Amino acid sequence: KQEVTQIPAALSVPEGENLVLNCSFTDSAIYNLQWFRQDPGKGLTSLLLIQSSQREQTSGRLNASLDKSSGRSTLYIAASQPGDSATYLCATPLTDKLIFGTGTRLQVFP
C-alpha cells in the first residue's frame, strides 16, 4: 500500500527566502511523482511531473527532485514571493489513481 506524507504541514516565511518542501512515499516502485499547487477554494494546478527515470525537473523558480531509493521528493522554491502563497501537494500514481499527500500550506509575507 502506497502512503504519501508531506512535511511540514504549514510554513510561513518572509519574502525572498529559498524554501524546501518535502514529500515522502512508502513504496519506491513509483512511475512518476507530480507536484501541484492549490489556491484557496480552487482546483489543482500541475507544477512539475518527474518521471521515474529522472532525478529532477525545473520550471522557473521551481525545482523538484526525486530519490526513489530513499522514498523522497523535494520541491525547491527559489526567492519566494507573496504570490507563491498556496497549498502544495505531491502525488504519485497507483494503478489507475493518484495517491496524494495532505499538502504543505505555504504563506510568504512581504
Partner 1 sequence: DGGITQSPKYLFRKEGQNVTLSCEQNLNHDAMYWYRQDPGQGLRLIYYSQIVNDFQKGDIAEGYSVSREKKESFPLTVTSAQKNPTAFYLCASSVPTVQPEQFFGPGTRLTVL
Among 18, 28, 45, 58, binds partner 1 (CB under 8 A): 45
Does position 32 interact with partner 1 (CB under 8 A)? The reply is yes
Question: Cβ 22 to partner 1, closest distance in Å?
Answer: 15
**11 is a site residue for partner 1 (CB under 8 A):** no
24 binds partner 1 (CB under 8 A): no
| Residue number with CB closer to partner 1 (43 or 110) | 43
- Could you tell me which residues come within 8 angstroms of residue 12 by beta carbon, excluding any fewer than 6 positions away? 106, 107, 108, 109
Longest CA pairwise span in the chain (Å): 42
36 contacts partner 1 (rule: CB under 8 A): yes
Q: Helix, strand, coil: what percent of the chain each, to 5? A: 5, 60, 35
Q: How many CB atoms lie within 10 A of CB 25?
A: 24
SS3 82: helix
Question: Under the rule (CB under 8 A), what is the footprint of partner 1?
Answer: 31-32, 34, 36, 41-46, 49, 51-52, 89, 91, 93, 96-98, 100-103
